[in-house]
Amino acid sequence: MDHLQTEARNPASAGLDELSAYQFVRLMAAEDGRVAPAVESQAAAIARVVEVTAERMRAGGRLVYIGAGTSGRLGVLDASECPPTFNAPPGLVVGVIAGGPTALTKAVEGAEDHPETGAAALAAINLSANDVVVGIATSGRTPYVLGAVEHARRLGAFTVGLSCNPDSELIPKVDLAITPVVGPEVLSGSTRLKSGTATKLVLNMISTGAMVRLGKTFGNLMVDLRATNEKLRYRTNRIVREATGLDRDAADELLKRCNGELKTALVAQLAGVEPDLARKRLIDASGRVRAAVGMNGTNGHHKAHEELVLGFDGGGTRTVALLAVRNGAGWKVLGRGEAGPSNRQAVGTPAALAALEAAADAAFASSGRPRKPVRAAVLGLAGAGRPEDREVIHGWAAKAHLAPAVDVIEDAALLLAAGTPDGWGVAVVAGTGSMAYARAADGRTARSGGWGYLLGDEGSGYAVALAGLRAAARAADGRGPGTVLTDKLLAAFGLERPEELVGVVYRGCDRPALAALAPLVLDAADACPVAAEIASAAAAELASAAAAAAQKLGYGRSFPVALAGGLFESRADYCARFLTALADRGLTPEPVAVVREPAEGAVRLALALRATA
């Protein structure tokens, strides 16, 4: 176990027994602050589990948590809270712990050491292929859990492994892994701390997300309840009032007409239909109030002639899907969905496809429509430049019945579709990474940059932040001039000495987290020569990339430019530095647009694809 991060000693707490109570609490708070980003990094995988769980529950399956010790207790806790919170039937969410109920309050020695015991525990609850099994093991190596997921997988259940160590033994034994890496605990090996917190957050998301997908909420209101006592009758009336704007007496009268059925009352009032039709709409909408309210006509379906399209923008940080429909000479967005990263090169194929699936589901859900194939879809994805990459996405789209007409293109191409008059010009991205992409009117393309953080990404948020950190390190050594960046960066991390940056940067920050520090560097540029030099040099690198891409296509001095990425979207001063750097090269971009929703470019391309399909 020596190689496990969760068992390692945390340098930040090496003097734990020498700290004052206040210092101890600050240390714990700082370490706990690492948990949420670690969980968020697994958003795509968690979203996929939510979707699969909801699908299997609709088909009669269950969500089963199984673990030992703290992991098992957290699973049992989450399962036990689902009936009172969501009116879920007993047994829909099941918690199994090594050692049985006794282990909830008292350690049962050796209960976790036998894989066959985990398999037997699942057999005892009559596990079936319809179920979802989440094996919870912080270490990723607990024999009880490994045996359980292997048994579940043999039966055909969908298996999930939740651990807090990378490259754990659990990962290859499950269909999908969730791995929030929180690092060593303040108290070495005490995984009830950060690891336990991460586990609880993930389980909250899985169970709550599945229940939301099953239609047990309307907005953030719990609407799947039966008014069986005075307290619940009051709560039901309050929910009707909050959702519809009716007063107390009118809400009571509505509930009486609907036999006390909260969902029926909401649909009847909000859609302006009689209770019987409201009930039918709820059946057609799989119990989802918003979808039932949004249905047109009396047959419970949206307009049959609607020709929908989907546009995707997927990168290394997030994935956005827009569901749209042609509206006269233009078009309008009906729903927007967002999920985790879908760059296969960065997060791997399973997580990337899970993010695309989740984004599509979310776009339909926000539109109030049940998911179905659309007429055309265009996916602009980072890391999809090679034919073999595009084949993988086409394969997923076919399996998911996404659309009869599907196109997969580089994400940068979306910027030109969204931000230039005729879809040609130069697109420049400055987000976590950076690159320039050019397209000529005749379809020829060229690019510059985009080599990734080890070989390039000059001018990106990551590069700007890293330059600021390096400047602070040089200043601390006396190798470089003093800079206000030192104090600003220390304050951002809650540190007191520059030497403490080493532990934070190398053990606690991924690239997006570091890139988020770039605005801090740019904020200091007006008052600090060091920061000003970093900002100007970064903008000059982006201008160089744009000029190189334009030159490859034989552009003259003027051409359209579309800008995108977090730095351009949020920093007018950085845009100005970039345009100045272009002018220094004798170039005058015209027009210039900042693209804040690249997926709109995918929608435009999908509408064109629809017209030719």
Q: What pLDDT shows up at residue 19?
A: 77
> Exposure of 84 by Cβ count < 10 A (0-12 exposed, 13-18 middle, 19+ buried)?
exposed
Identify whether the C-beta of residue 382 lies closer than 8 Å to the C-beta of residue 356.
no
C-alpha distance from residue 197 to each of 39, 136, 512 (Å): 10, 13, 22
Domains 5-213 and 308-420+599-612 agree in fold? no
Q: What pLDDT shows up at residue 429?
A: 87
Average pLDDT over all residues of the chain? 86
Q: What pLDDT shows up at residue 287?
A: 82
* C-alpha neighbours within 13 Å on the C-beta side of residue 420: 27
* pLDDT tens-digit map of 279-312: 998 888 878 888 888 765 434 444 555 688 999 9
Q: What pLDDT shows up at residue 126?
A: 93
Q: What pLDDT shows up at residue 125?
A: 93
Tell me how far apart the alpha carbons of residues 162 and 168 are, in angstroms, rounded to a whole number. 10
Residues facing 312 on adjacent strands: 321, 379
**Among 146-150, 487-491, 524-528, which range has the highest average pLDDT?**
146-150
Among 89-98, 115-124, 435-444, 506-515, the range scoring the smallest mean pLDDT is 506-515
Q: What pLDDT shows up at residue 105?
A: 84
C-alpha distance from residue 305 to each of 147, 419, 544 (Å): 51, 30, 49
Question: Which 3 state secondary structure label does DSSP give 563?
Answer: strand
Specify the higher pLDDT residue, 414 or 87: 414
| Closest C-alpha among 134, 64, 128 to residue 92 | 64
Tell me how far apart the alpha carbons of residues 223 and 492 are, in angstroms, rounded to a whole number. 41
Specify the higher pLDDT residue, 503 or 74: 74
Q: Which helix (H) or strand (E) is 45 found in, with range?
A: helix 43-58
Q: What pLDDT shows up at residue 85?
A: 80
Q: Is 50 exceeded by the pLDDT of residue 262?
A: yes
With a threshold of 0.85, does the pTM exceed it? no
Tell me how far apart the alpha carbons of residues 316 and 452 are, in angstroms, rounded to a whole number. 11
Identify whether the C-beta of residue 47 lies closer than 8 Å to the C-beta of residue 209.
yes
Tell me how far apart the alpha carbons of residues 534 and 545 are, in angstroms, rounded to a whole number. 17
Q: What pLDDT shows up at residue 581?
A: 93
Residues facing 135 on adjacent strands: 66, 161
Q: Please confirm, yes or no, whether 81 is among the known catalytic residues.
A: yes
Helix 21-32 and helix 194-213: axis angle, to 10°? 40
Q: What pLDDT shows up at residue 297?
A: 43
**Among 302-306, 346-350, 413-417, which range has the highest average pLDDT?**
413-417
Model confidence at 71, pLDDT cuts 50, 70, 90, reads very high
Model confidence at 508, pLDDT cuts 50, 70, 90, reads low
Q: Please, what CATH class does the domain formed by 5-213 belong to? A: alpha beta
Domain 461-590 grouped into CATH 3.40.50.11900: no
| DSSP secondary structure letters along 284-303 | HTTT-HHHHHH--TTTT---
Q: What pLDDT shows up at residue 1?
A: 52
Q: Is 90 exceeded by the pLDDT of residue 146?
A: yes
Identify whether the C-beta of residue 513 lies closer than 8 Å to the C-beta of residue 34.
no
Q: What is the DSSP letter of 16?
A: G
Q: Which helix (H) or strand (E) is 136 found in, with range?
A: strand 132-136
Mean pLDDT throughout 497-508? 78
* pLDDT tens-digit map of 168-196: 889 989 989 999 988 888 787 778 888 88
The one-letter code for the residue type at 424 is W
Model confidence at 73, pLDDT cuts 50, 70, 90, reads very high
CA 47-326-562 angle, 5° bins:
70
Q: What pLDDT shows up at residue 345?
A: 79
**% of residues, the chain, pLDDT over 70:** 95
Q: What pLDDT shows up at residue 352?
A: 87
Tell me how far apart the alpha carbons of residues 498 and 480 are, in angstroms, rounded to a whole number. 14
Identify whether the C-beta of residue 66 lies closer than 8 Å to the C-beta of residue 103.
no
| Closest C-alpha among 343, 307, 338 to residue 322 | 338
Mean pLDDT throughout 1-28? 73
247: its two tokens: 């007063």
| Closest C-alpha among 132, 165, 164, 166 to residue 149 | 132
C-alpha distance from residue 372 to each of 211, 332, 493 (Å): 21, 18, 46
Model confidence at 6, pLDDT cuts 50, 70, 90, reads low
Tell me how far apart the alpha carbons of residues 540 and 156 are, in angstroms, rounded to a whole number. 55
Cis-peptide into 591, omega within 30 deg: yes
**% of residues, the chain, pLDDT over 90:** 31
Q: Is 60 exceeded by the pLDDT of residue 52?
A: yes
Out of 7, 18, 31, 81, which one is annotated catalytic? 81
Q: What pLDDT shows up at residue 299?
A: 42
Question: Which 3 state secondary structure label does DSSP give 459?
Answer: coil
Mean pLDDT throughout 479-503? 85
Mean pLDDT throughout 331-342? 86
| Closest C-alpha among 473, 429, 434, 470 to residue 455 | 434
Q: What pLDDT shows up at residue 501?
A: 84
Out of 31, 51, 112, 185, which one is annotated catalytic? 112
Q: Please, what CATH class does the domain formed by 308-420+599-612 belong to? A: alpha beta
> Exposure of 401 by Cβ count < 10 A (0-12 exposed, 13-18 middle, 19+ buried)?
exposed
Q: Is 60 exceeded by the pLDDT of residue 613?
A: no
484: its two tokens: 């206000």
Mean pLDDT throughout 43-63? 88
Tell me how far apart the alpha carbons of residues 463 and 521 are, in angstroms, rounded to a whole number. 11
Mean pLDDT throughout 255-270? 91
- The residue count for the chain: 613
C-alpha distance from residue 83 to each of 260, 312, 486 (Å): 20, 36, 51
Q: What pLDDT shows up at residue 206?
A: 94
Tell me how far apart the alpha carbons of residues 162 and 155 are, in angstroms, rounded to a whole number. 20
Specify the higher pLDDT residue, 187 or 7: 187
- In sequence order, the 6+-apart residues with CB closer than 8 A to the CB of 115 are 143, 144, 146, 147, 148, 150
The one-letter code for the residue type at 203 is L
Identify whether the C-beta of residue 128 lies closer than 8 Å to the C-beta of residue 157.
yes
Question: Which 3 state secondary structure label does DSSP give 365?
Answer: helix
Q: Please confirm, yes or no, whether 112 is among the known catalytic residues.
A: yes
* pLDDT tens-digit map of 567-598: 888 888 888 889 999 999 999 888 888 888 88
Identify whether the C-beta of residue 448 lies closer than 8 Å to the C-beta of residue 435.
yes
Mean pLDDT throughout 457-464? 89
Q: Is 80 exceeded by the pLDDT of residue 359?
A: yes
- In sequence order, the 6+-apart residues with CB closer than 8 A to the CB of 278 are 258, 264, 265, 267, 268, 271, 292
* pLDDT tens-digit map of 556-570: 888 999 998 888 888
Specify the higher pLDDT residue, 383 or 280: 280
Q: Where are the domains of the chain?
A: 5-213, 219-294, 308-420+599-612, 461-590
- How many beta carbons lie within 10 A of that of residue 283, not counting itself? 10
- How many beta carbons lie within 10 A of that of residue 541, not counting itself? 21
Q: What pLDDT shows up at residue 298?
A: 39
| DSSP secondary structure letters along 488-530 | HHHHHHT-SSGGGHHHHHHHH--HHHHHTTHHHHHHTTTT-HH
Q: Which helix (H) or strand (E) is 210 found in, with range?
A: helix 194-213
Q: Is 50 exceeded by the pLDDT of residue 117?
A: yes
Q: What is the DSSP letter of 311?
A: E
295: its two tokens: 């249905």
The listed CATH number (1.10.3720.10, 3.40.50.2020, 1.10.8.1080, 3.40.50.720) that belongs to domain 219-294? 1.10.8.1080
Pairing of strands 376-381, 405-410: parallel
